[in-house]
Structure 1
Amino acid sequence: AVAVTVVGCAALPLRAAAAHRTVQVHGARQDVASARPSRRRTVAELTAVVLAVAAVETLRRRGAASSADDLVSLAPVLVGVIAALVLVRLYPLPLRRLARPAVRLRGAVGHLALARAGRTSVSAVLPLLALLTALTTATFGGSVLTGVTDTRDRAALLTTGADARVEGTGPLPSALADRVRRTPGVAGLTGVSISYEARTSNGRQTLPVAGVDPAAYAKLATRTDLGAFDAAELKQPAGEDEPLRALASPAVAERFGTEPFRARMEDGTAVMLRVSLVRDLTPAVSGDEFLVVDRAGLSAEAARPTVLLLTGDRIDGTALRRATGDAGSVLLRAQERARYVDSPLQSGAERVYTAAVAAGAGYAVLALLLSLLRAAPERAALLARLRTMGLTRSQGRRLLVLESLPQAALAAAGGALTGWAAVRLLSPGIDVTAIALATASSPPGRTGLRTDPWSLAVPTAGVLVVAVGAAAVQAWWSGRRGSVKELRAGDAG
């Protein structure tokens, strides 16, 4: 009985003595440098990765032909979440790399800041998820808005062919070009004679034929980025029996090939043409079928300009209409572009994406501020202890700024990279034409997304500025307060 009592009473003290034979910290460290993710977390992350990859691949294969649904809305968020999970896993690696050379630096502020950043608790790294998701959403929304703007500009340019267009029902008066050239804002003028009902050799098919001055028209095509070409390749050949060189659309070039063919103009004259250049677009004529020739090879009647294409930054529409009078109609590129935002669908969709950009940027800043406020009491106590050891106020500010920089810099760089990747991955499956244009007319081909540098730079810079500013303000505020309260709080903990 005595032996059983002794063993029963001494078992617990002996076990405790054996466990505390050596001095050790109570509980294992739970910082990002030493904590290993659990199996459940690994399984959950792999499941999310599989779902994100499947969503992106489905969206890319499906293309932009179908209407938008939840998959289009969730794809950017899924990409951001996956990138955040990867960055959380990789977060300790750069800190370990930087901590080794930081030991050789003069002073203890840099080494102490990196050491504290590496010992951040796992829960403090979780705001990276919010930051990456918010930054990816903001970048994607900004790219959509940029794509909408580009699509509207392109559609307006294709309609007018230049910054402004003056077109008559027949040949324009010869004095009109001089009056229009003196209009405020007009920097360049190119005259074009267009025969919309020119007939080909079989007499049954009609297509527009534009007679141009090759040198001036080549400059216009280069400036507007609508089928740029070399003017020398369109000039009239020296021989009289040689057919006129023509710039054709792909459909016309496929129909006639490189063999000469006859085209009858609207004035009844006939010319022999040969396709020498092929371009998808041209400023004078829009559509899938057109021919552009040197008007020096046309008759005097067919060579008279019927269209004036004007270039200039700020063309005065009122003065241009006054100078044109009843000779022709005036179409401004700016006014044509303004028509595309009249539809409630287009304006509402644009506001939704604008709100998404603002909400994403605001959510990123909020997540960063909440993570900094969560660690504010502990940082204040740390500064109070270090000030008793001789740390100056400027060193305290540098310590807090350097400590907050790794997470903010990783989130900013990861957000920019993830936003760029999301746009590149999802661009084949998203068409912004329906959002940009209120009418059925659209630029040739599908209008996809492109990365907007401002959408990448502004949220990234905002995260860094907020992180550095919050740390500096916290250090300044802690320096103004006394250290007794922080020291007592730290001793009690």
Structure 2
Amino acid sequence: MVRIVAPWVRTRLRTAPLAAVSVFVLVGITAFLCAAFPRAVDAYEGEGIRHELTVAEPDQSGFRFSAAPVAPYEADDPGLRASVTPAKLAERHRRIVGILPDALRTDPRDSAYGVRSQRPADGEAPGLTELDGGSPVFTLAAQSALAEHATVRSGRLPKPPPDSAEPAEPADSPNEPTEPTEPRPDSVEGVVTSATAKALNVRIGTVVTISRETAGPLVVTITGIVDPVRPRSAYWSVLPVLRTPGYLYTEGPPPQPYWHGALLLPPEAGPALLSLPKEAEPYWNVAVDPRGLGAGDIEAAERAVATVESGPVLSELRSAISPELQVTTGLAGILADYGKLRGAIAPVVSVAAFGVGGVIAVVLLTAGGLAASRRSTELALLRARGGSLPGIVARLAAETAVPAVPAAVAGGALAIVLVPEGRLWPAVLAVILVTVVACGALPARAALEHRRPRPGGRADAPGRPSRRRTVAELTLLALAAAAVVAVRRRGTGDGADQGVDQLVSAAPVLLGVAAALVLVRLYPLPLRLAALSVARRRGAIGFLALARAGRAPATTVLPLLALVLALTTAAFGGSVLAGVEAARDRAAVVSVGSDARIEAAGALPGGLADSVRKLPGVTGVVEVYRETDVGLRDGDDADGVTLLGADPAAYARLARDTGLGGFPADALRAGGKGPVPAIVSPGVAERLGDGARVIGPLSAPLNVEVSAVRTATPALSDGEFVLVDTAALTGPRAATTLLVAGGSVSGEGLRAAVRATGAADGIRVALRADERNAFAESPVQTGAERVYAVAALAAAGYAALALLLALIRAAPERVALLARLRTMGLTRRQGRRLLVLENLPGSLLAGAGGVLVGWVVVLVLAPGIDLARLAQASGGMAAARVPAELTTDPWSLLLPGAGVVLLAAGVAAVQAWAVTRRSSTTELRVGDTR
């Protein structure tokens, strides 16, 4: 047996350490990006559902269970009185929490239970604040854990009633006598929140009398005033009146308001509420903890909510708690709305995933192909000396796997550490795919090239494309055409209901691949024609550069494909981000009408406009009079329109600057006699028709004539309008809206100016910047934008890498050529020019082709790409009126392409400078073993 002295893998790694390090770095970075991508998507989707549950109203984001209301005549039932004691309610609460599915993690801190009056009860006490609608009414609640959720501001917490001993349990048999029970208490203690005390004029010692039908009045003595520890928590916000009083209105016309407050009783006072005239009900509020919910748990949570609302879990709860147990929750709606948002954004994000994935795959194949091309002579020699193809492939795979596998594992582990949230299997699968492609690219290319011995030939003289290549290219063209048709017909807007369409998501990649194949086929022709024209000129540099660039060896296909695909992905990603930004900016302008807006239901305080004009950053203020529900006197039963009055010159300038229905000032300026010119919305124009028409109430008629029709106007974000000159309005017409221009206007300054008038109540201040930020409040939107930005940057980086790989691969051959030419009299300066000029046609082709393909992809796919939910998760009517379309971003198109050209020229210049400083004798003897 012959001992192997120099094993293949160890020898290769020791003789070519730089190649091994390059593979390690390339595979490590690629594995990190591919593993981090799905985990980043899971992370922002999980953050999104937690955000939705956190910002939702507490009465919607949890479960509210309630037993059957107890009628007053049933208040003496010992069994009912025993069922509402704190111990019994706590036991049932634990049973409910134990039965709920594990997919719904409960939050004991915000959960509560107790007994409360089902409807407000009339309460009487001296000194209570009365409104036009009459005396206040109260909701009485004996809720658990009051001491843990309230801070005593003054006084003390209520004590249990002195006769609140645990009532005896009812006898198991109706024939067995029951123990006599204590009479229900007629007097209990309670507390109110500071907001209730201030609004209703409740003080410590106030005695509130609640009348009852089956017994004497229930007397509630106020012993303290408390402040909620966390006012927005579910404990206080499931029933907001426990925290803050509100208005109720009488039924008769006109409706008159009266106060509605809450009296907080000790938990032991629950039996005392059974005799209330408005009926009392035991309840259990179970809060859901969103902290344990991730992207992979959403489907399980939806199924769990369905089983609780009307499924086996509800049946089990009714068997364990009460046959008439009712459940109320808004979780199903929250999860459904979030599912629509995620489903609308997922197809758009999948486009980025396909784009970057395609670029990465092509770059890995390019690296393997260039390595195989660089070692073509070595592998041909092994085959000529009897080396088997499987053996060579196995050894190449082994030497690539030694640096690639540890790099992939390290990159995947780093991604899991840096992005801790998310499912594990997509990241592991991505790492495996990267490893397989990286380890298989070099062996596959070597096996394809050396499957049979071939005679030597010129590397720069490409053969005729084979039939297999032609069929493959035609198949890709057919797939690209099918993808374009799918995008134009179905688009990405159906993802919320049907999931991600793989063909639609792969459309930019397929178009980029098809365009790159067409460019590879066509680009040698114009270069060869240019070389013919240069051949007649003096000097050989230009001719040599064009002639060499016009010869397209097979190794240039993958680098060019990687460049075009990367530039297309970067351009598409930048266009998506640009479309999102443009839609948000436009929606914010439509919503506010200017950089800032100050408005009130009635007239604004006098002098406010002058004060605002003096604020720093304010460049203009337009005063607008607004009157809603103005009749058109056209006999139509349609709703009235909004009448707007403004100064023609100032308002016309604002409309032109904002792009909201610009018009010449003369179209609005009122003359002396005759009808008043009016700018109206399309609906109003259709109703008014041609000629002058009288509109408005009988007390202030207005004779108007349509002078222009505009679909939008700064003073009104939505609805039909009539805009006239303020001077044409009769009577005092104080401004109701101020439209403030100024890019650096301060919201605090505007609010301070409003407060300085002393009439800040009912005046709303809105800033365009705040409105714009509100459109991107969901983490799903911000996370998807970050993913797209990283995808665009990664694509640009891999484009540069593909270019560098191609230049490095061609460097030895170019160095040898330059050395030969220098022996024939070529100067160093001419050699540098030759290397730089030889690289320019290919880089210009890749850059221009990437820009062109990116522009075509955006132009072709724009009608089918839906960016509405990505741009505006909940933008209201103003956002709904603004289309979110894919728009071409010049920076994303031109900057990567220009970077490719500059990088190619810079690398070529550095190579030329380094080569011309070395001796040509050394280069000519490269590979000489003598």
TM-score, with structure 2 as normaliser: 0.48
2:709 aligned with 1:278? yes
- Of structures 1 and 2, the one with the larger relative CO (CA 8 A, separation 6+) is 1
- Give the superposition deviation at 1:268: 5.2
Structure 2 equivalent of residue 225 of structure 1:
659
Quick one: distance in 2 between partners of 1:395 and 1:491? 27
- Give the superposition deviation at 1:276: 2.9
Post-superposition CA distance 1:178-223 (Å, at most 9, x none):
1110111111111100112323325762221111112211111111
Quick one: distance in 2 between partners of 1:115 and 1:424? 35
2:480 aligned with 1:52? yes
Structure 1 equivalent of residue 650 of structure 2:
216
2:318 aligned with 1:318? no
Which range is displaced more, 285-294 or 180-189? 285-294
Quick one: distance in 2 between partners of 1:295 and 1:234? 10
Which of residues 847, 853, 856 in structure 2 aligns to 1:421? 856
Q: SS in structure 1 opposite 2:506?
A: helix
Quick one: distance in 2 between partners of 1:54 and 1:296? 61
- Give the superposition deviation at 1:236: 2.3
8 A Cα contact 1:154 1:443, kept in partner: no
8 A Cα contact 2:682 2:710, kept in partner: yes
Q: Which amino acid aligns with 2:818?
A: L
Gaps of 5+ in 1: 1-25
1:59/1:334 Cα in 2 relative to 1: closer, same or farther (>3 Å)?
Answer: same
Structure 2 equivalent of residue 207 of structure 1:
641
Q: Which amino acid aligns with 2:666?
A: A
Q: Which amino acid aligns with 1:413?
A: A
Post-superposition CA distance 1:436-458 (Å, at most 9, x none):
11314315253212211111111
Which of residues 211, 235, 238 in structure 1 aligns to 2:669? 235
Structure 2 equivalent of residue 307 of structure 1:
737
**What is the number of residues matched between the two proteins?**
464
Structure 2 equivalent of residue 373 of structure 1:
808
8 A Cα contact 1:251 1:288, kept in partner: no
8 A Cα contact 1:151 1:443, kept in partner: no
2:902 aligned with 1:472? no
- Give the superposition deviation at 1:275: 2.9
Quick one: distance in 2 between partners of 1:451 and 1:307? 36
Post-superposition CA distance 1:19-66 (Å, at most 9, x none):
xxxxxxx6565646x532222211211111111112112211235642
Structure 2 equivalent of residue 255 of structure 1:
687
Q: Which amino acid aligns with 1:224?
A: T
TM-score, with structure 1 as normaliser: 0.88
Which of residues 178, 186, 194 in structure 1 aligns to 2:610? 178
2:830 aligned with 1:395? yes
Q: SS in structure 1 opposite 2:715?
A: coil
Q: Which amino acid aligns with 1:88?
A: V
Alignment map for 1:410-489 (pairs within 5 Å)? 410-441=845-876, 442-489=879-926
8 A Cα contact 2:487 2:504, kept in partner: yes
Quick one: distance in 1 between partners of 2:552 and 2:478? 29
1:120/1:50 Cα in 2 relative to 1: closer, same or farther (>3 Å)?
Answer: closer
Quick one: distance in 2 between partners of 1:207 and 1:65? 34
Structure 1 equivalent of residue 771 of structure 2:
336
Quick one: distance in 1 between partners of 2:492 and 2:557? 37
Q: SS in structure 1 opposite 2:775?
A: helix
8 A Cα contact 2:583 2:885, kept in partner: no
8 A Cα contact 2:694 2:701, kept in partner: yes
8 A Cα contact 1:193 1:211, kept in partner: yes
Quick one: distance in 2 between partners of 1:454 and 1:413? 14
Post-superposition CA distance 1:48-86 (Å, at most 9, x none):
111111211221123564236434421111111111011
Which of residues 600, 607, 612 in structure 2 aligns to 1:168? 600
Alignment map for 1:37-116 (pairs within 5 Å)? 37-63=465-491, 65-67=493-495, 69-116=501-548
- Give the superposition deviation at 1:371: 0.6
Post-superposition CA distance 1:340-394 (Å, at most 9, x none):
2221111011112101210110111111111111111111222222233333332
1:406/1:125 Cα in 2 relative to 1: closer, same or farther (>3 Å)?
Answer: farther
Q: SS in structure 2 opposite 1:315?
A: coil
1:79/1:160 Cα in 2 relative to 1: closer, same or farther (>3 Å)?
Answer: same
Structure 2 equivalent of residue 190 of structure 1:
622
Gaps of 5+ in 2: 1-454
1:200/1:143 Cα in 2 relative to 1: closer, same or farther (>3 Å)?
Answer: same
Q: SS in structure 1 opposite 2:802?
A: helix
Quick one: distance in 2 between partners of 1:470 and 1:51? 36
Quick one: distance in 2 between partners of 1:445 and 1:152? 9
1:143/1:492 Cα in 2 relative to 1: closer, same or farther (>3 Å)?
Answer: farther
8 A Cα contact 2:480 2:514, kept in partner: yes
8 A Cα contact 1:233 1:276, kept in partner: yes
Q: Which amino acid aligns with 2:579?
A: G
Quick one: distance in 2 between partners of 1:447 and 1:119? 45
Q: Which of these two proteins has the greater Rg computed from alpha carbons?
A: 2
8 A Cα contact 1:381 1:490, kept in partner: no
Structure 2 equivalent of residue 13 of structure 1:
none
Post-superposition CA distance 1:375-431 (Å, at most 9, x none):
111112222222333333322221111111111100111111111111110111112
2:769 aligned with 1:362? no
Q: SS in structure 2 opposite 1:472?
A: helix
Quick one: distance in 1 between partners of 2:695 and 2:928? 97
8 A Cα contact 2:587 2:882, kept in partner: no
Structure 1 equivalent of residue 556 of structure 2:
124
8 A Cα contact 2:668 2:724, kept in partner: yes
Quick one: distance in 2 between partners of 1:490 and 1:119? 25
Q: CA RMSD in A?
A: 2.3
- Give the superposition deviation at 1:260: 4.5
Structure 2 equivalent of residue 23 of structure 1:
none
8 A Cα contact 1:158 1:443, kept in partner: no
1:392/1:125 Cα in 2 relative to 1: closer, same or farther (>3 Å)?
Answer: farther
1:319/1:257 Cα in 2 relative to 1: closer, same or farther (>3 Å)?
Answer: same
Quick one: distance in 2 between partners of 1:291 and 1:46? 59
Quick one: distance in 2 between partners of 1:379 and 1:218? 65
1:288/1:175 Cα in 2 relative to 1: closer, same or farther (>3 Å)?
Answer: closer
Post-superposition CA distance 1:312-332 (Å, at most 9, x none):
221122222212224432211
Quick one: distance in 1 between partners of 2:528 and 2:821? 24
8 A Cα contact 1:258 1:276, kept in partner: no
8 A Cα contact 2:678 2:704, kept in partner: yes
8 A Cα contact 2:520 2:557, kept in partner: yes
2:718 aligned with 1:287? yes
Q: SS in structure 2 opposite 1:156?
A: helix
Q: SS in structure 2 opposite 1:489?
A: coil
Q: Which amino acid aligns with 1:428?
A: P
Q: Which amino acid aligns with 2:664?
A: D
- Give the superposition deviation at 1:470: 1.0
